[in-house]
Structure 1
Amino acid sequence: MDPAELSRDDAEQALIAQRLLALHEASPKLLALFDNHDVLRFANEAFCQSFDVQPDGCITWLDMMRRNLASGRGSKVNAPEPETWLAGAASRRGKQPFRAFEADLIDGRWIWMTETVDEQGWMLCSASDITALKIEGRALRQERDRALRAAQTDPMTGISNRAHVLQQMQEQLSRVQIGAGQLAVALLDLDHFKRINDTLGHGAGDAVICDFARQLQASSRRVDACGRMGGEEFVLLLVDVSAEQAQAVVERLLARTRQASPLAEQPSLHYTASAGLTLARPGDTIAELCHRADEALYQAKAAGRDRWQWAD
């Protein structure tokens, strides 16, 4: 191609991008772009005003939502435990290439939000004000959405329940089978958890389980997944990582856990966890993958706990 033609094409593309950005800035629709770490990288004025935020390249979606809860701005959260609600919302966020849902804002508006995720994990959020639309059937739709969330969510911690995280594991395994991705699985179990229940009561045990769920979620990216398998056992799915990267994530998670102090009335109480890791192989079933991770977890426990172990 002639260099002059190439230059004209570049100039035209730059002009289109400039006009598109200007129109997005001026649009009454709420528009925002989050990167693969869920950091807000762009937001137009309508989004910034609605969620009281500025894209400084540092604030994450969770940071934004927590600020909104504290200041009474942004989305309306009808839940007795806001942190549990946030954990559930984060568990579902970005797990599909596209999804759409209704949401209420504190200022009384009713919006239709869409989330579009690309292959690199960047997410475009777009919301339209649909307050003026007829609301016939809205209560039924909201009840359906609540039922769907409940079917996917562990009620104590707010993160994915066993069924939902295994569904996500199967989706990632399907990618591995066709050579379209990699998957590392970590099965985690709290150490000596029965002692906490026996000495401090089940309320303290529940607080420790919820704290670990927060540590687990904070250690994962939006493209990853985590869930509670039952009792004090959890699973972490790390997408498109090497063995070294998976190992580093689990090491950081166990370090965070050692430093955690989940009971305000007992600040000296700390706890630990053990982990078994494995990498998915073409042809693996969920049962085979979980079995390898479970064997590795057993070895970590047998070696003294508060450590991780790769499957043989």
Structure 2
Amino acid sequence: MPAKEPDRSAAPDLLIEVDNLHTHFFGNAGLVRAVDGVSFSIPRGRTVCVVGESGSGKSITGRSILNQVPRGGRVVSGAIRYRPDAGKPPVDIVALDPRGKEMRAIRGAQIALISQEPMAALSPVHTIGNQMIEVIRLHLNMGRREAKEHAIETLALVGIPRPTERMESYAFQFSGGMRQRVCIALALSCRPKLLIADEPTTALDVTTQANILDLLSTLQADFNLSVLFVTHDLGVVSEIADDVVVMYLGKVVETGDVDTIFHAPAHPYTRALLQSVPRMHAGGTKRLPTIEGMVPSPLDRPQGCGFHPRCAKAVAGLCDRKAPEPVTISKGHVASCLLHGETR
């Protein structure tokens, strides 16, 4: 369970507000609405986990916040309000030129990314030191010697042994866990306000994964980081999350603090995800519950609620015809499900 209890006594200090975000991809096969009206917020100093199956739009949501949507796609509407300084007017990231000076000053310096695959994120032909120094000098306006000292300090911060020596190493000379620590160091080198972690522990063994999660929690506390953690692993969510955003087929189906989502889930999809998690004392002969079917193709989206073809609670004539609207279940807990809408 998360180390700190959420403070519900006062309105949160929001760093990011994602408001009705639509990110679409345009291809020969048709229009793909990868992110389809997503809204949620990231309070300052808290960890928000975005969860869901592959194809739910989690990673593209993170890339949209970076204003770095892959080729063929773009943010077509909505707003991403970023407040680097509390009490000052926000910056709408959607309105900025993705390649413009203002966005490039934010990306990497104030909002940083830890990629899912560290080997692909690091250059194979440049030393770790060269890569870090380049980023630091670009964003922090330091001389080369000062930038090198800052890079060594950051590598030591994330637990890289003999950081001065390892500055001259290449990515292939590190283990998988150490490469991921280097990616974290690279993301933290400019001391960002928001860290977007896109499934950073997926390719790691469980021991290394636990070490990386502990490291991220420590760094968040030390630097008052906000973290957007993209994952499909609910075990990870239970360890690090303050708030949870559940996505399905490009839409947010439920949001709430981690205790509410785990102990009082309101959406059938959230319940199904939780039921499919292995339990230690379930018994060796009992089959693990699964969610029937697959996430539909974004090119052939179901009418009505996107989850209704796989939902055990679906009502014929209702869920297959009408798209659900967000319904407030309790303070801070919202679910988009027609069953709640009809019974209120």
Q: TM-score, normalised by structure 2?
A: 0.25
Higher relative contact order (CA 8 A, sep 6+): 2
Larger Rg: 1
More helix by percentage = 1
